Structure 1
Amino acid sequence: MSSKKRFIINSFAQVFAFLVSLGITFFLTPYIVSQLGAAAYGFVGLASNFVGYAQIITIALNSMAGRFITISVHQNRIEDARRYFSSVFFSNIIIVAFVSIIGVVVLAKLECLIDIPPELIRDVKLLFFCIFLNFFISIIFNVYNVSTFIANRLDLSSIRTIIANILKAILLVGLFYLFDAAVWYIGLATIISTIYIICTNIVLKRRLTPELSVSLSHFDKNSIKELLSAGVWNVVEKLSAILSTGFDLLLANLFIGATQMGVLAITRRIPTLTLTLFERINSIFAPPWTKLYATDQNEALHRQIIKTLRFFGLISIIPNAFIFAFSDMFYALWLPSQDTKLLYCLTLAACIDLPIAMPLQPIYNLYPITNKVKANSLFSLFTFGLTFVIVFVGLNVTSGTFTHLMIISCTSAVFNIVKALTFLPLYGAHCIKMKAKFLYVCTIRSVLSFTVLLSLLLWIKTMFPQASWELLGVCGVVTCILGTIIGSLIILNSADRKEIFGLVSKLFH
């Protein structure tokens, strides 16, 4: 199968996996909120954030494992690849044994660490136990994810994710139907779906990369040191990312209350899911880029990067414009019991960076590929420090729940805009020795296209004062059509348009 056709298949598979996840969230979130309340639902996000804090310990080892294993395989250094693979697996077991001790202490004193309504203490503790257990088993088998990356078969990982999400949804519906509602069911369903993913990854590893195997004889301390030394700066970057987003819910819990934390968690779903979609699509480009870098095909890599940024600019304007134009209608239909205007304002505040930052998402692939993550990590830590100080001071010197929620929602987004306009294109270009102006041109065209599309959608919105699911669906179709036309004319060049048309045509022949 040609690389271009494989790209199309991978793209469709990743998008479809996201749509399945989105559908599950769309149907289950209102039901869970109605059964348990916004406060209980907020603890799901908070538990995931706690796991994010624990995950920091594993980042130094695991973040660069895929890069070193993949490059070793492409350069036919199979023994090196086996050493990396086995060393990471056994090291993760040691890490889990250590972190589990911390997890036990956190669970025992959880009600002292965060604000939990008395009637939810047992339920929330069980939720945290399940989420922590899911994290432990995920980390142990994390290295098995690399096989689909090496073979550029991300379509298989997408199919696996689709089935896992459907399994999770079936389990949740069954548990809520058969038993009294409890928030910890979400954690239990997550564990079972993760076990399915792990089993599938083991099968795929044997099928796609049989040359890789786990053996104590391949455990190598020097390989661990090499991975740690390359990945240590990823710890800083991940810490900054987790704290800048994860601390939002924690600060809301401590300064405003559990109920408002739940409201903030709900508004996080749209930007989080949107970013998840683009991270899935972005992951498609990492395997071929890694291969080009490993084989010193620098000019081809430059061409692929520019083409990818134009592609990202085209597809990013559609969801972003829809969020800015119609998310208030969506909330009114999706969660009619909640304050729609508040949800809309908080969502826009959290998404103000997306039109600028999202088209540049592929640049993040360059740091691990070139093994130059230090500067990005330090910049992320610096911006997090400023964000935390501003949010903390803002919460203490201002009053009013709405003001506090807006401060928490938009501060990190503002700094993301600064990063997207300065560091991201400048250092990304430096890593691969190309001119940054090419990256800025892609950003300018994307923002211009977004502005034109949003203006048209807001004008169209004035014609339909009453919201309905049918109308929202029509608006979605209109957004896709207008976005594709506007983006194709402003962002893409004639060669891009011909290539995309040719790829889509070949896919169906």
Structure 2
Amino acid sequence: MKVNRFQVNVILGIANGIISALQTLWFIPYIKSFLGNEAYGYVSVINGLVNTLMIISVSVGVMSTRFIVVNLEQGNKKKASHYYSTEFFSLLIIGLLISILGIILSFNLRKVMNISSGYYNDVQILFLMTLFSFLIQLISAPFSASFYVKNSLFITYLIFICDYLSRIMMTIFLFSNGEKVIWSSALATDLVYLGMILIYYIYTRKNLPELILSKSLFKIKYLWDVMRSGLWVGISYAGNVMLSSLTTYFSNIFCGVIITGIYSAIMQLNIIENTVLSVLISSILPKMFKLYSNDDNQSLYNYVIDSMILTTLFIGLISSGIVVYGSDFMSLWMGKEFVKYRLLIVLTVIYLPFTLPSQVINQVFTVKNKVAIPAIATLLFGMLNVFLIIIFTKWLNLGIYGIAISAVIVQVLRDNIFYPLYLKNIINRVKWKLSIPFLIGVVYMALGISICFLVKKVIVPNTILSFSLSVIVSGILLFLLALTLYRKKEHLGG
């Protein structure tokens, strides 16, 4: 059977996610064994802080890529080059401004987060290294359009795989030579990303020679086009930061350093699903752009439904396993103290199969350049998340559980209510068919959790070997169930 580009992208994307997860599974206990529980918490908090600096850059990068790809698909090569050059030089300027802001912030980290005195210098270095890798990603954004046009996202996944492997090797090298530091993986990422931007540039020059990079093609008019839409993307990203990335920051502020390290470790289970989501979303975007460029709204709508179902089943497979095996896994991986956080583990993943698939709908807003209202809504939902976190943690004294509960409430409101309603507003074809992915998700989770519980009763995961066997058997059965439901979707109108 011939494997198409979509399948290659998904396969290597999933491989990238698996290697990322394995790297994390190795990295956290390795860091913990040398530096203690709180050390990895600093890594998560710094990543959250740096993500907040991406708001402006994302507003330019995402929409510029959209304009470049759509114009190339429609044959407007000169216009695409204008957007390409305008984006690149704009991001250079933004990168310089963010660098200045980041350096100033690095000398004032104690004003924005809790840091033990023994870690302050290391956290400063970690912040600057993480900022540097972000800046490289920022400048390479214009070249990423070529991967969507050529549907070759697998190249980026290969680079990320190299990044994850290099983090392991760099950490082992530094630790074995007496440098027990929390910034080892950040240093490895910086080195890999330097190579990445070179590969991106060469690939674009070779595969899209019609895209010209020149200062003379920089036009305020095109920057204004991007900024008008990009402003809303930036606002939306700000809301998403308040919904996700800043949770570890609020944990650090409201719950303390130790619990933040524990929460960060548990959230790695959540990150697995978000990684899978990112792979699927990236892989479906090239076809979305083509369908939109060809003005084929009916096919675009059908493709959205099909993609949501596929996403629901992928995420549901992982969530079912985590709900049943999560605490067992954390106990084997990080220690017996994680048994008492069983409820927290469940709260961080149980809702994801019903909310994450709506990110497919969110991509339709970007593709159709209908981003203003979703952006405002996401910002409001992000503010609601912060408000609920304060109520649950400070007023109701729910601690870290308050942060998890707030995420569930807010993301259900946004992803399951607002997104579908707004999609109906911009595509009048939206009918009951849009509910199919959510219904399949409910059925799959109920059956999937039941299957895992039954397998766990038969193969009790009390050792690493029996745990692995129990998970493998459950995984095979869950995959067969997902395959069955995906094939049956036609009978439901999917």
The bucket for the TM-score relative to the shorter chain is over 0.9
Shift of 1:173: 2.0
State the one-letter code of the partner of 2:435.
Answer: Y
Moved more, 455-464 or 47-56: 455-464
Shift of 1:481: 2.5
Q: Does the 8 A contact of 1:366 with 1:431 survive in 2?
A: no
| Structure 1 counterpart of 2:321 | 322
2:449 to 446, 449, 454: 454
| Structure 1 counterpart of 2:487 | 492
Q: Does the 8 A contact of 1:384 with 1:412 survive in 2?
A: no
1:442 to 437, 442, 448: 437
Provide the secondary structure at the position in 1 that maps to 2:53: helix
Q: Number of residue pairs matched?
A: 492
| Structure 1 counterpart of 2:8 | 9
Shift of 1:57: 1.9
1:364-383 superposed matches below 5 A: 364-383=362-381
| Structure 2 counterpart of 1:393 | 391
Q: Does the 8 A contact of 1:164 with 1:197 survive in 2?
A: no
Q: 1:265 to 1:47 in 2, by over 3 A?
A: same
| Structure 2 counterpart of 1:418 | 413
| Structure 1 counterpart of 2:350 | 352
Q: Which runs of 4+ in 1 moved over 4 A?
A: none
Provide the secondary structure at the position in 1 that maps to 2:4: helix
Q: 1:451 to 1:95 in 2, by over 3 A?
A: same
Q: Does the 8 A contact of 1:312 with 1:360 survive in 2?
A: no
Shift of 1:309: 2.3
Moved more, 450-459 or 355-364: 355-364
1:18-42 CA distance string (max 9 Å, x none): 1121121122221012111121211
Q: Does the 8 A contact of 2:460 with 2:470 survive in 1?
A: no
Q: 1:477 to 1:466 in 2, by over 3 A?
A: closer
Shift of 1:51: 0.8
1:158-195 CA distance string (max 9 Å, x none): 22222232223222221222233111222211211211
Q: 1:256 to 1:300 in 2, by over 3 A?
A: closer
d(CA) in 1 for partners of 2:464, 2:316: 22
Q: Does the 8 A contact of 1:20 with 1:165 survive in 2?
A: yes
Q: TM-score, normalised by structure 2?
A: 0.94
Shift of 1:90: 0.7
1:64-463 superposed matches below 5 A: 64-336=63-335, 339-399=337-397, 403-463=398-458
| Structure 2 counterpart of 1:478 | 473
d(CA) in 1 for partners of 2:248, 2:489: 45
Shift of 1:97: 1.6
Q: 1:469 to 1:371 in 2, by over 3 A?
A: same
| Structure 1 counterpart of 2:62 | 63
Shift of 1:466: 4.6
Shift of 1:465: 4.4
d(CA) in 2 for partners of 1:431, 1:22: 37
Q: 1:187 to 1:155 in 2, by over 3 A?
A: closer
1:258-290 CA distance string (max 9 Å, x none): 111111111111101211112112210100111
Which 5+ residue runs of structure 2 have no aligned equivalent? none
| Structure 2 counterpart of 1:505 | none
CA RMSD of aligned residues (A): 2.1
d(CA) in 2 for partners of 1:281, 1:441: 18
Provide the secondary structure at the position in 1 that maps to 2:209: coil
Q: Calculate percent identity across the aligned residue pairs.
A: 22
| Structure 2 counterpart of 1:499 | none
d(CA) in 2 for partners of 1:243, 1:446: 26
d(CA) in 1 for partners of 2:342, 2:489: 38
Q: Does the 8 A contact of 2:85 with 2:218 survive in 1?
A: yes
Matched, 1:468 2:467: no
Q: Does the 8 A contact of 1:88 with 1:224 survive in 2?
A: yes
State the one-letter code of the partner of 2:309.
Answer: R
d(CA) in 1 for partners of 2:327, 2:180: 28
Moved more, 273-282 or 116-125: 273-282
d(CA) in 2 for partners of 1:86, 1:116: 41
Q: Does the 8 A contact of 1:363 with 1:425 survive in 2?
A: yes
Q: Does the 8 A contact of 1:318 with 1:480 survive in 2?
A: yes
Moved more, 152-161 or 289-298: 152-161
Shift of 1:147: 1.0
State the one-letter code of the partner of 1:81.
Answer: A
Q: 1:251 to 1:161 in 2, by over 3 A?
A: closer
Q: TM-score, normalised by structure 1?
A: 0.92
d(CA) in 2 for partners of 1:476, 1:209: 45
Shift of 1:121: 0.9
1:116-167 CA distance string (max 9 Å, x none): 1111111111111111122222212221111111111112222222223222
Shift of 1:202: 1.5
Q: 1:494 to 1:191 in 2, by over 3 A?
A: closer
State the one-letter code of the partner of 1:425.
Answer: P
